[in-house]
Amino acid sequence: MKEPRIIVAMDFNSGEQALELAARLDPGLCRLKVGKELFTAAGPGLVEKLIHAGFDIFLDLKYHDIPNTVASACSVAAGMGVWMINVHALGGRKMLSAAREAITPGTAKLIAVTLLTSMDQDDLNDIGLQGSPEQIVSRLSLLTQDCGLDGVVCSALEVKSLRQLIAPDFNLVTPGIRPLDNSVDDQKRIATPSQAIQNGSDYLVIGRPITQAQEPLAALQRINQEIESLA
């Protein structure tokens, strides 16, 4: 069995809902993403239970603070036994390097968010960031790689151009994925699972198409079959 490339976004406001869904999924077929909402509601105890159930956990807390604080948080997160942790690349070189040094290589993967996909040119102008969103994403991806991190979160539509820019083993983790027969929800710039993988994405973050499906395991299996048939 190949390593799971689908990361299911557990966007719930209670640990009970997350555990209920996890019980219907298979750790051999997916990993799980615990973000700010669920972590604020249910904390490290829930993460421990999900790890105990056999799942690899992407702890999506997007740390952004002074280097010492981020490094300490990363060290505690890695100590919980999670598979992946993330920080904001806008925290800059010193913060990224401190986070990298805080995590023993070969334990948790450390990736960065470049620019939030909710930010457009007007938002960049407001905060005085020069360049287009695409230029800033490229620049922050290179900075992240230069600081020794394992990858970045990026839109499936940015994957192709980023792949030309960064090393083959630098992980690209992409949300905004919608199978063809699914509702788009509030996502704007989407790609199908096959498009994202063909463009060079390593891991797909998928929430509602799986979490809100009548049969979450069947939805997960369908997407896995779609991407495995590409290999």
Chain residues binding ligand C5P by CB under 6 A are 9, 11, 35, 117, 153, 175-176, 185, 187, 205-208
CB-neighbour burial class of residue 106 (10 A; exposed 0-12, middle 13-18, buried 19+): exposed
Nearest distance from residue 68's CB to ligand C5P, in Å?
A: 26
62 annotated active-site? yes
* Centroid of chain to Cα 53: 20
Nearest-approach distance from CB 101 to ligand C5P, in angstroms: 26
Q: Which residue has the closest beta carbon to ligand C5P?
A: 207
Out of 2, 36, 62, 109, which one is annotated catalytic? Answer: 62
At its nearest, how many Å lie between ligand C5P and the CB of residue 204? 9
Say if CB 152 and CB 144 are below 8 A apart: yes
At residue 22's C-alpha, the angle toward residues 21 and 28, to 5°, is: 135
Cβ closer to ligand C5P: 32 or 147? Answer: 32
| Residue (32 or 73) nearer to ligand C5P, CB | 32
For ligand C5P, the closer CB: 66 or 116: 116
Q: How many CB atoms lie within 10 A of CB 126?
A: 9
* Smallest gap from residue 223 Cβ to ligand C5P (A): 11
What letter represents residue 68's amino acid?
N
Instruction: Give the Å distances, CA to CA, from 117 to 59, 134, 153, 175.
Output: 19, 10, 10, 10
Maximum CA extent, the chain: 48
The nearer residue to ligand C5P, 71 or 149, going by C-beta atoms, is 149
Q: Which residues are catalytic?
A: 62
